[in-house]
Amino acid sequence: MEDTRNLIDKFKGQTNEQVKAELNKSRLPLEIAIENVEHDFNIGSIVRTANSFNVSKVHIIGKKKYNRRGAMCTDKYLEILHHPTINDFFETQKNRELIAIENNTKDAKPLHEKQFAEKTTLIFGSENNGITEELLSQAHEIRFIESFGSTRSVNVGVAAGIAMYEYARQTIF
């Protein structure tokens, strides 16, 4: 029977557990945090991209439910943790660099100038309200993605992909 899952050929025919176990051998130490992202498809898109970059964990802070269809079943291959509160999330972030990706603050610096620490967690917030002040105030740095057109920002799922790529570019290549 043909394996129609969205997997690279190397993983075709393996169980979900086998795929996850194999990926665990080469995970990046990067983690992703998503705080109260309002559109379910955005969370699914971020999860799918996190799988593509083989990140260690995805943290969902606040609202737990999301559109798994947007994740294209990739949520089966990585660890996704739910934290009802910001304090619950912080308990998991000891000895990690917390980088908020946010364009709604004058304290932000360009993402392309950032040199990432190995153990980094990238934090993303809702498109409408951004990252809450409570979480933003605990970030070690705030970075933004430059925009060259008329809109001031990209979609949060796209921003997550850009930031994950920049981390991977610096740490893998």
Domain assignment of residue 9, yes or no: no
pTM of the model: 0.93
In a domain, 22, yes or no: no
Q: What is the pLDDT of residue 134?
A: 95
- Considering Cα of 92, then 97, then 100, then 106, what sign does the dihedral take? positive
In a domain, 18, yes or no: no
Please check whether residue 12 lies inside any domain of the structure.
no
DSSP 64: -
Tell me whether residue 3 is in a domain.
no
- Classify residue 114: in a domain, yes or no: yes
In CATH, what number is assigned to the domain containing residue 104? 3.40.1280.10
37-89 pLDDT per residue, tens: 766 678 888 999 999 999 999 999 987 665 555 556 778 899 999 999 999 99
Range of the domain at 122: 27-171
Whether residue 100 contacts residue 73, with contact meaning beta carbons closer than 8 Å, is answered with no
Instruction: Identify whether 16 is part of a domain.
Output: no
Query: How many domains is the chain built from?
Result: 1
- Asked, for residue 128, whether it belongs to a domain, the answer is yes
